[in-house]
Structure 1
């Protein structure tokens, strides 16, 4: 593990052959390693998301975050792009699958990649990480408090998506879920439903739930940040990916 890394903006091929922007960080090492696709939260392709990409590089992975709002507002600020994305009801599932698949392919083509790639997502990205696990060739997926894997968005909610109940049987890889017990979306009952579906379909998974934590407990710049939950969550992520993305 080293803090020496390189980070840059790249263009990758996403859904329907579109070129989209992505943020890439790689360790300054020639050792073979796995890769991680970071799926950003609803607020978008922002500084916090890029910091997570760099953190994975310091842990020892090639990491990339595709800008899921690139088509909605190319070149716009994260806030403006996120607003455009919300106005469109969020990222369509088919497009998300194509963009994540393109990011996975990009990582696997890097010289040091060992062929193993996982996904991780936060908030809406948590749901999208699970969605990717149903349709993309990946080795592990992490869901950080992803809303509407089960349940449905309330009327007026900016994220206009269906749940993934009918897709759980298609999950192709182990799932790690990290949830706050005080969260509303997903609620404790919705997490229970997700867990039961994984059990019923014979999927490999592990869930960790945190008291006194709600939505976005990883977000260091928000009042929702919970240091102890985030610290343990990061430890679980490192262990989970370490067991599945190693050489």
Structure 2
């Protein structure tokens, strides 16, 4: 645990050389330390996601969350930016990958970085985590109830959110998956299909499902919050990153 951290908005280089706003938090002690790219959910680059970034810094990691909606809605509130992006079809997968790669490169260049980078995301960010871990070379990935990796999206979801199960053979790192047994996106059947595909591809993964928990059980500001599942989930996240991102 780090007594002192620094958190701030920075500018990083993302997909296609674009300047992308991002939120950075890191311990003020020396290092060396692992790094984490936090991928925000579909509601956007919001206060809850930034709190997660700071939480990783308190636990000794440099963490960075790129604003995937920077280009479409610079300066807009998270709600307005998310609504605009959803109405315009979502964020293309190749651009997400490019922005995550830019975030990883930014973290690796920080003083005290040990060169190891993990990726984490919730909901659409969980899907994007799986996408990034299958498209880039990273050291660990955490998928928190990532929707639409396996299943087709329902009406109203941006068309960019298409299934990506076929990417499983390309997974570049160990994967931790945390799911709610009462969730529908993904439901238990979809989680089982993802696990089976990873088994088939010989990929290292560790999945946990929580009874009585649905979608967004980590979200402390929502009725879906389930304290027991969230507390255990956080413990598993820090154990997993501790094993894969340490020196």
Q: What's the TM-score bracket when you normalise by the shorter of the two chains?
A: over 0.9
In structure 2, the partner of 1:142 is 142
The alpha-carbon deviation at position 160 of structure 1 amounts to 3.6
Within a 5 Å distance, the mapping from 1:59-74 to structure 2 comes to 59-74=59-74
In structure 2, the partner of 1:232 is 232
How far apart in 2 are the matches of 1:48 and 1:156? 23
Unpaired runs of 5+ residues, structure 1, are none
The answer to whether the 8 Å contact 2:93/2:160 transfers is no
In structure 1, the partner of 2:34 is 34
How far apart in 2 are the matches of 1:97 and 1:85? 17
1:9 paired with 2:6, answer no
- Give the TM-score of the pair, scaled to structure 1: 0.98
> SS of the counterpart of 2:125?
helix
Residues 13-41 of structure 1 deviation map (CA, whole Å, 9 limit, x = unaligned): 00010000000001010120000000001
The alpha-carbon deviation at position 122 of structure 1 amounts to 0.6
Q: How many residues align?
A: 247
Runs of 4+ with deviation above 3 angstroms: none
The answer to whether the 8 Å contact 1:8/1:25 transfers is yes
In structure 2, the partner of 1:181 is 181
- Give the TM-score of the pair, scaled to structure 2: 0.98
In structure 1, the partner of 2:166 is 166
In structure 2, the partner of 1:195 is 195
In structure 2, the partner of 1:93 is 93
The answer to whether the 8 Å contact 1:2/1:59 transfers is yes
Unpaired runs of 5+ residues, structure 2, are none
> SS of the counterpart of 2:74?
coil
How far apart in 2 are the matches of 1:158 and 1:183? 20
In structure 2, the partner of 1:212 is 212
> SS of the counterpart of 1:91?
coil
The answer to whether the 8 Å contact 1:153/1:160 transfers is no
How far apart in 1 are the matches of 2:189 and 2:64? 32
How far apart in 1 are the matches of 2:15 and 2:141? 20
Residues 182-231 of structure 1 deviation map (CA, whole Å, 9 limit, x = unaligned): 00100111101000001000000000100000000000000000000000
> SS of the counterpart of 2:129?
helix
Two-structure CA RMSD over aligned residues (Å):
0.8
How far apart in 2 are the matches of 1:158 and 1:106? 29
How far apart in 2 are the matches of 1:34 and 1:63? 9
In structure 2, the partner of 1:52 is 52
How far apart in 2 are the matches of 1:84 and 1:23? 21
Instruction: Sort the Cα spacing of 1:185 and 1:224 in 2 relative to 1 into closer, same or farther, 3 A.
Output: same
The answer to whether the 8 Å contact 2:86/2:157 transfers is no
